[in-house]
Structure 1
Amino acid sequence: MHYDFDLARQPPRPFHFSTLEFVDALNPDQQRIVLHQDGPALVIAGAGSGKTRVITQRVARLTQSGVPASGILLLTFTNKAANEMAARVNRAANLRKEQQKLIHGTFHSVASRFLRRYAKLLRYENQFSILDASDSRDLIKASLAEGIGKPGKQFPKAALLQDIFSLAFNRNATRKQLLESPYPERNFHLEQSVKASYPHLEEHLEAMLRILQTYRLKKRRNQVMDFDDLLENWLELLLRDGTSLPMVKQIQYILVDEYQDTNHVQANILDCLSLGHRNLMVVGDDAQSIYSWRGADFRNILEFPERFNATLFRMEQNYRSTPEILNTANSSINHNQQQFEKHLFTELASGDLPTLHELWDPQEEADLLLDTIHELRDRELSLNDIAVLYRNHVQSATLQVELTRAGIPFVIHSGVKFFEQAHIKDLTAFLKVVYNPLDEIAWMRILKLLPGVGNTTAHRIFSIFHTQQAVRLTQNNAALQKLIPAKARADWNVVLECFQDMLKDGATPATMLGLLYQRFYRGVLFNSFENASQREHDVNYLREFSGNYRSLESFLNELSLVGASVVTEYEAEQIDGEVLTLTTIHQAKGLEWEAVFLIGLTEGLFPHQRCLDDPEQLEEERRLFYVALTRAKRHLLLSAPVISNSYAGYERHARSRFIKELPEDTVETITHERSAYDWGTPNRSTRFFF
């Protein structure tokens, strides 16, 4: 990996601490981390080891030792986690309201704060719009149509192009490119990423390069940034002007959570931010690095101690799982070569051995899980405390059918997110246009709500807005009126009236949404969707949520950057009573349940077939297995069907190598044998958790 700075040679800036009483409540390893003086440090925080508590106590100690909260930067991978940590810091340090100025958030949200203040240094207006993932795909579709016209059936879709462009940026962005190449011309060695990760698409490389350039030109022209742009522009800003920016100068200490998930660009951002003081503490677990497919670089955490000449701490005491579960997890991850040596232990009481069930097929696997769920519920364990984990969603198909038949409620952690639903995006498009009248994607969405307006007419209308520098929303325009179909003019006039009131001083996001819905969008909703009443509940929730924000800027930032965490809370509110969780392991990271079922443990499925011949990818698959094991608190069931159904019929699988690697004394193996004539009944009775 290429880094742009020699950070090991930079001397730390000293700061003197006082001893605080709350440190006494921590274990010895945690105390050493909280009491660490200045200079770079890496904390290897094992699963369930209390890292959130340590981070918040570290920040609280800094503030009580005289460091202003505004001089501390706390970076996490979800805004929800950042907000919770900040609240805990305020309580632990007894900070008054006027002192609660900790800079905290995700890389993207903090980037947006920097860029709102300094955007003009990069030739952006401060009121740029942020594209969420869906809007970004729409703009790529428009760029595709403009760049190559109608693509063939084999040409990659916009969603795949989005992934390819993002991967190239996150893996290949360099200081030289950011400082020497104009924004629209940067392709971040797209050809390298395509050849390495998408070799079957090499024939389309020239067309993809044209689309990428068109996409970047459109973003710059429309004054919008996607998520990758936030990091790209933040890093460029720091490289060009970082040492002179007041926001950078005020930061004295930096703490980063989940450092193992950082990519090359994020690592370089941290290099820039810490260059003047080197008070950078990163917290993470190399054994839980599972996101290379979206650009995370495992080497960031592995090479940190050497790059920074950093102090290394370990947190190995686990407060979540039984000793038996930890023994299983330790035994598995020990097979990895590239890692920091660690051994999780706990002082919690012993429990049952994890059970490994060797089964015939997914149907028998589903039957086993249903029986076990009933047994757990008989022993007063709530469905909310049980989760089924798997490598890919398709592995849960049979189970979903059987759960439905059995009347067991379940929720799948996937699907369309709340803020990605069509009716929600329709409403928020109006707010985006009020904030940034050059937002092409938002305008396209609004215009196509009008009767008789399709893509072609919408683009013609937008071209008038753009050439006239976004015609005032409160004015009629003769050229514009000619393009509006006769049957749409009444609705268009209503839209203009809505914009007039939305632009009035003192209008809040909640009042804007209210008047827009009552005057215009309610009719659209009930004429467009069969389940309009249910969607109206969503609109009410959106208005309620928007009431937390006085400014349009803060509300739109929240929508773009933290919609996913808000979704989870919203969906949870819709569930009445207990519900079983079905989730991929990637989505389960950071969560925990009393009982965990890990299904589909067969070679080629887990580990995935494409990883079997690549040692690095195979180690990441084993880390994914480790993450799954360490989600369980008291009960862990593993299952490995021999047979799977496919388009070709039945396929027989070997057990996953991850199962074979486990010592016999770490799991209780139960084989469900079938005779050649009777595939319906195991030859022996099964024993579950108890």
Structure 2
Amino acid sequence: MGFDFGNANDAQREAISTTEGPLLIIAGPGTGKTYTLVKRIVYLITEKNVLPEEIMIATFTEKAAKELVTRITNELYEIGIQINLNEMYIGTFHSICLRILKDHLEYTRIKKNYRMLDNFDQQYMVFQRINKFRSLPEFDAIFEKKQGAWRQAGTIVKYVNNLAEELVDTEKMMQDSDSQIVAIANIMEQYDILMEDENLIDFSSIQTEAYKLLTEHPDILKDLQEKIKYVMVDEYQDTNYIQELLVFLIAGENKNICVVGDDDQGLYRFRGATIRNILEFPGHFADGECKQVKLVTNYRSEKEIIDFYNNWMSTTDGRAYDFLWKNFRFEKEIVPGKDNYSEGTAVIKCSGQELVDDWFEQVYNFITKLKREGTLTDYNQIAFLCRSVRNDKIINLIDYLEEHGIKVYSPRSEMFFSRKEIKEAIGCLLLCFPAYLEKLRNRDFAFDFQNLYDYYDHECIKAAKELIKEHKDTLGNWIVEKMKQHSNLHSANTDYAFVGLLYQLFQFEPFSEYLGIDLKTGVTDERPARNLSILTSILGKYEYLHRIDVFTEKNIVDGVERFFNMYFRFLFEGGITEYEDDSEYAPSGCVSFMTIHQSKGMEFPIVMVDSLNATPRENSDARIEEIENKYFHREVFETRDDIKFFDFWRLYYTAFSRAQNLLVLSCCEKKGHGATPSKYFEECYGKLPSYEDVDLSELHLEKVKPVNIKDTYSFTSHIALYENCALQYKIFKELGFTQVRVGATLFGTLVHETIEDIHRAAMRHEENTIVPDTIREWFDTNYSTLSKSEHSYLGQGQIESAYNQVLRYVERNKGDWSRIQDAEVEVSLVKPDYILLGKVDLIKGEGDTVEIVDFKSEKKPDLILESTELKKYRRQLEVYAHLIEEKTGKHVSKMHLYYTGEENGVPTISFNKSEEHIDKTIGEFNDVVNKIQSKDFSGRAKDKKLCANCDMRHYCRRKGDC
């Protein structure tokens, strides 16, 4: 029976079945790129007998990776093929590189328990250590002396991020005659020293460290090359220099490299991406060796929309802004693939005249007209795209629509601090600290941040006082109590800090109402709870960075002032994005506002494109350009004069091609200086009819397609947590609230990680290193990195107890490690609606019969008193055993719980694997997942001991749930 190509057209079939040798798939918008990729992977597995672990698929976003995983597993599931997803290298370049690094950490500068930095973390890390940079030679060559530390930190991070992945030679840069280049080289070197000393990693260094690992350790590279036989890269037009290097490095002499992308949608130059990677890809091979397939049949859009954006890309010369694509674009024309098309109603305009209020009204009238006539059945069928969703014009339009009853979803508009629930929460927190309040009233601070102080005074505290009027006997009394307590910490510390204080606040209205929201209601109704979750994350991060576990007489004044006047100020000025749901990019009942970059890869029935006043602009840094000319490994590709035009045209091509049924160009028309639309849109815009002059009553709009992403669940952090308490699951997993850090797990993690080091050494056949001196080195390193990352410490007695547990484990093995076959083995169970993940601590045995072991760093429990807990462990192990048998083809004869804290007796509790139990156990897991997916969080903890240290205990007591 032949392969089922489904509805694939000829070009797609060719792309799917071309598996050997280099392949370039140029995929225009709406041409079924993901469908083709999925079918190609299924074809490799089913027709070419390629193992999942022999395939690497790099995607641009985690969301794209999740969608690929879902669609691949669904296709294979339907034809009865189960695969262990953990074996396939699928994800973003960053996640794939991180996986490679984790497998070989001992060969890198990164140690266990490293901390990952996002962009804000990067800047804050540099800010905290700015004097180390300011003391560098030539630092003053690029910074003004009066420039603030935070701005300097931002510039430093910009240079590091822009240059690191270009693998510039900083030692050579230090010899340059230009003092500014020397200064940047010194900065990069100091940054690298800090990252190593603090065991930190950022998004750039993930890839540079992976490249360094593979180039400096040929044996590791060889093993990877022998394992991965097929390399596929999505969105290849948005890859950068180091990503291209990694593709060809991992592929090695194997030329089975398939890259997919659209040069017309290359948008990420500002992140270091270069269009040259896709344009020059065929040139890496002999003439004619690289096969090229163009997918140009668009199944997404109306013919008029396709004609509109084809014309946009093809007519660029003969005007005031004359430019030619020359050899910087693959020639292509997208053709329609639908059968029936509407005429004269697919591309229109919706405009205001001169006054922005008129534009607001026109947009509102257009939307309500479609809704009133029944053409628009859900507001989520409309997406409003613009260059930025943070400018006042867009934010005011959002406010206008919401004030007139149209809900808007725009998480990146950075409206976090203007949300009612955030102002209320911050106001209530401020009122709890009378010493800070007094200084705020008098503006008795070293620096005058007027906007921030006015925000606290006129918005936050005002909102809190209004709440106190409504809830004087509850919330009001609690705040008075906290004011007194925080004013008198001479005798005793509190048992909480910022996050714990906020969790206490959640017991009172309206916060308890926000958290009590039914999660079936939709994203906008959930927004208050989601934003409060983000607030707990902000507070938790600050506590972590400044090591504040509880309030004391010593830290409460400086710690509170530092938070509100420094840490919070940086976030306030920089903005915070609100919660985004990967599984629902267009929530029902809301008009979506997003940037053009954000919309890439998406499609909407109606797309309204704003920012028509825009013009092509150069976005460059003279210092970085100079370094590029001197120290980059490739010469400049596109001419600098043309880049601004190329990027401008590609940006709006991407915007126009998101539309399925109706493309609307929208602006507030203006003549003279700053004309809108600008001259670059005049011709295409001027020909369009206004929505008022077009009969849209017969327009048929598609429904927004649901995002096809399977949720993943783990045994311990999902299934067990939900069974323990569904409310805990809702708060900490579903809504993502930050839990107050506790050191209780430090002991167990320390033991576990050191035993993992022992197993790794055994699997490397380095049994001679498993001796007390080396074990102590591993143990001390693990404790050092763990305590640093957790900001938590053990007493000397606890440290020695943990070390003795490890030594006792080694002694019991009597130096025989030959039976170890694998350790820290990730397994997955693919179901139609979800994926269950787990990790097996140890697989040991001989030949085709093995045993699995799960380690517990405690004494062996009473088999009778703890029978319920043991039953949970047993069913988890049974499913692990089932998955190990499927993955390896080996028979699991025994399952063990190994208690490293057991001193004298037998340290294990062993179970025989029972096939009849496995189906029952998986059925029980299915029931739990079904409840989670149906948003049933009504269950409460049956064991009230679980409530004692739960962050939600104040909330539950107030509601009478515990």
Give the TM-score band, short-chain normalised: 0.5 to 0.7
Q: Which amino acid letter does the alignment assign opposite residue 76 of structure 1?
A: T
- Per-residue CA shift, 1:480-516, capped at 9, x if unaligned? xxxxxx9599659x68xxxxxxxxxxxxxxxxxxxxx
Pairs within 5 Å for 1:75-154: 75-94=58-77, 95-98=81-84, 101-148=87-134, 152-153=146-147
Does the CA contact (< 8 Å) of 2:618 and 2:644 recur in 1? no
**Which has the greater radius of gyration?**
2
How far is 1:622 from its partner? 0.4
Indicate yes or no: 2:282 matched with 1:305.
yes
Paired residue for 1:600, among 611, 618, 624? Answer: 611
Paired residue for 2:408, among 407, 410, 422? Answer: 410
The structure-2 alpha-carbon separation of the partners of 1:389 and 1:187, relative to structure 1 and needing over 3 Å to count, comes to farther
Distance, in Å, in 1 between the alignment partners of 2:26 and 2:297 is 12
* Identical columns (%): 24
Paired residue for 2:26, among 44, 50, 53? Answer: 44
How far is 1:397 from its partner? 3.7
How far is 1:600 from its partner? 3.0
Distance, in Å, in 1 between the alignment partners of 2:585 and 2:684 is 40
Distance, in Å, in 2 between the alignment partners of 1:73 and 1:92 is 18
Q: What is residue 335 of structure 2 aligned with on the other side?
A: 345
Distance, in Å, in 1 between the alignment partners of 2:63 and 2:370 is 31
Residue 165 of structure 1 aligns to a residue whose secondary structure is: helix
The structure-2 alpha-carbon separation of the partners of 1:219 and 1:277, relative to structure 1 and needing over 3 Å to count, comes to same
Q: Which amino acid letter does the alignment assign opposite residue 307 of structure 2?
A: N
Does the CA contact (< 8 Å) of 1:358 and 1:669 recur in 2? no
Residue 606 of structure 2 aligns to a residue whose secondary structure is: strand
Paired residue for 2:157, among 162, 167, 175? Answer: 162
Distance, in Å, in 1 between the alignment partners of 2:34 and 2:358 is 40
- Per-residue CA shift, 1:576-626, capped at 9, x if unaligned? x50111111111111111111112312xx2444769993122111101010
Residue 334 of structure 2 aligns to a residue whose secondary structure is: coil
Residue 125 of structure 1 aligns to a residue whose secondary structure is: coil
Does the CA contact (< 8 Å) of 2:530 and 2:579 recur in 1? no
Residue 569 of structure 1 aligns to a residue whose secondary structure is: coil
The structure-2 alpha-carbon separation of the partners of 1:565 and 1:21, relative to structure 1 and needing over 3 Å to count, comes to farther
- Per-residue CA shift, 1:92-117, capped at 9, x if unaligned? 23431447732111111111111111
Does the CA contact (< 8 Å) of 2:65 and 2:92 recur in 1? yes
Q: What is residue 447 of structure 1 aligned with on the other side?
A: none
The structure-2 alpha-carbon separation of the partners of 1:144 and 1:374, relative to structure 1 and needing over 3 Å to count, comes to same
How far is 1:83 from its partner? 2.1
Paired residue for 2:596, among 559, 581, 585? Answer: 585
How far is 1:203 from its partner? 9.1
Does the CA contact (< 8 Å) of 1:34 and 1:57 recur in 2? yes
How far is 1:252 from its partner? 0.5
Q: What is residue 213 of structure 1 aligned with on the other side?
A: 189
The structure-2 alpha-carbon separation of the partners of 1:346 and 1:300, relative to structure 1 and needing over 3 Å to count, comes to same
The structure-2 alpha-carbon separation of the partners of 1:25 and 1:642, relative to structure 1 and needing over 3 Å to count, comes to closer
The structure-2 alpha-carbon separation of the partners of 1:161 and 1:132, relative to structure 1 and needing over 3 Å to count, comes to same
Distance, in Å, in 1 between the alignment partners of 2:182 and 2:649 is 37
Distance, in Å, in 2 between the alignment partners of 1:488 and 1:219 is 39
Residue 114 of structure 1 aligns to a residue whose secondary structure is: helix
Residue 298 of structure 2 aligns to a residue whose secondary structure is: coil
Distance, in Å, in 2 between the alignment partners of 1:565 and 1:640 is 25
How far is 1:56 from its partner? 0.9
Pairs within 5 Å for 1:619-630: 619-630=646-657
Residue 208 of structure 2 aligns to a residue whose secondary structure is: helix
Distance, in Å, in 1 between the alignment partners of 2:109 and 2:619 is 43
Distance, in Å, in 1 between the alignment partners of 2:65 and 2:213 is 24
Q: Which amino acid letter does the alignment assign opposite residue 410 of structure 1?
A: V
Q: What is residue 511 of structure 1 aligned with on the other side?
A: none
Distance, in Å, in 2 between the alignment partners of 1:277 and 1:325 is 41
Distance, in Å, in 2 between the alignment partners of 1:347 and 1:290 is 26
Indicate yes or no: 2:232 matched with 1:255.
yes
* Between 250-259 and 142-151, the greater mean CA deviation after superposition: 142-151
Does the CA contact (< 8 Å) of 1:148 and 1:211 recur in 2? no
Does the CA contact (< 8 Å) of 1:392 and 1:584 recur in 2? yes
Distance, in Å, in 1 between the alignment partners of 2:34 and 2:17 is 16
Distance, in Å, in 1 between the alignment partners of 2:352 and 2:413 is 29
Distance, in Å, in 2 between the alignment partners of 1:190 and 1:613 is 26
Does the CA contact (< 8 Å) of 2:670 and 2:677 recur in 1? no
Paired residue for 1:386, among 379, 382, 386? Answer: 382
Q: What is residue 233 of structure 1 aligned with on the other side?
A: 209
Q: Which amino acid letter does the alignment assign opposite residue 388 of structure 2?
A: N
Indicate yes or no: 2:310 matched with 1:330.
yes
Indicate yes or no: 2:571 matched with 1:569.
no
- Per-residue CA shift, 1:307-332, capped at 9, x if unaligned? 23421110001111000000001001
**Larger RCO (alpha carbons 8 Å, 6+ apart):** 1
Q: What is residue 375 of structure 1 aligned with on the other side?
A: 369
How far is 1:652 from its partner? 4.1
Does the CA contact (< 8 Å) of 2:346 and 2:661 recur in 1? no
Q: Which amino acid letter does the alignment assign opposite residue 158 of structure 2?
A: D
Distance, in Å, in 2 between the alignment partners of 1:279 and 1:217 is 38
Does the CA contact (< 8 Å) of 1:143 and 1:214 recur in 2? no
Q: What is residue 396 of structure 1 aligned with on the other side?
A: 394
How well do the aligned residues superpose, as a CA RMSD in angstroms? Answer: 4.2
Q: Which amino acid letter does the alignment assign opposite residue 57 of structure 2?
A: L
Paired residue for 2:681, among 635, 659, 676? Answer: 659
What stretches of structure 1 of length at least 5 have no aligned partner? 1-18, 178-185, 196-201, 425-485, 496-518, 546-563, 645-649, 672-684
Residue 93 of structure 1 aligns to a residue whose secondary structure is: helix
The structure-2 alpha-carbon separation of the partners of 1:566 and 1:609, relative to structure 1 and needing over 3 Å to count, comes to closer
How far is 1:247 from its partner? 3.3
- Per-residue CA shift, 1:73-93, capped at 9, x if unaligned? 011011222122123222323
How far is 1:388 from its partner? 1.0
Q: Which amino acid letter does the alignment assign opposite residue 236 of structure 1?
A: K
Distance, in Å, in 1 between the alignment partners of 2:689 and 2:171 is 52
Distance, in Å, in 2 between the alignment partners of 1:640 and 1:332 is 18
How far is 1:403 from its partner? 1.3
Distance, in Å, in 1 between the alignment partners of 2:279 and 2:659 is 26
Distance, in Å, in 2 between the alignment partners of 1:327 and 1:39 is 35
Does the CA contact (< 8 Å) of 2:350 and 2:366 recur in 1? no
Does the CA contact (< 8 Å) of 1:642 and 1:653 recur in 2? yes
Distance, in Å, in 2 between the alignment partners of 1:663 and 1:601 is 9
How far is 1:532 from its partner? 6.0
What stretches of structure 2 of length at least 5 have no aligned partner? 136-143, 317-324, 423-487, 516-527, 538-575, 621-638, 698-962
Distance, in Å, in 2 between the alignment partners of 1:489 and 1:208 is 51
Distance, in Å, in 1 between the alignment partners of 2:13 and 2:394 is 43
Paired residue for 1:68, among 48, 51, 73? Answer: 51
Q: Which amino acid letter does the alignment assign opposite residue 300 of structure 1?
A: N
**Number of equivalent positions:** 527
| TM superposition score normalised by structure 2 | 0.49
How far is 1:520 from its partner? 8.8
- Per-residue CA shift, 1:522-572, capped at 9, x if unaligned? 335557999865589459979xx9xxxxxxxxxxxxxxxxxx999421896
Distance, in Å, in 2 between the alignment partners of 1:270 and 1:407 is 50
Does the CA contact (< 8 Å) of 1:111 and 1:230 recur in 2? yes
Q: Which amino acid letter does the alignment assign opposite residue 160 of structure 2?
A: F
Q: Which amino acid letter does the alignment assign opposite residue 409 of structure 1?
A: K
Q: What is residue 910 of structure 2 aligned with on the other side?
A: none
Does the CA contact (< 8 Å) of 1:242 and 1:248 recur in 2? no
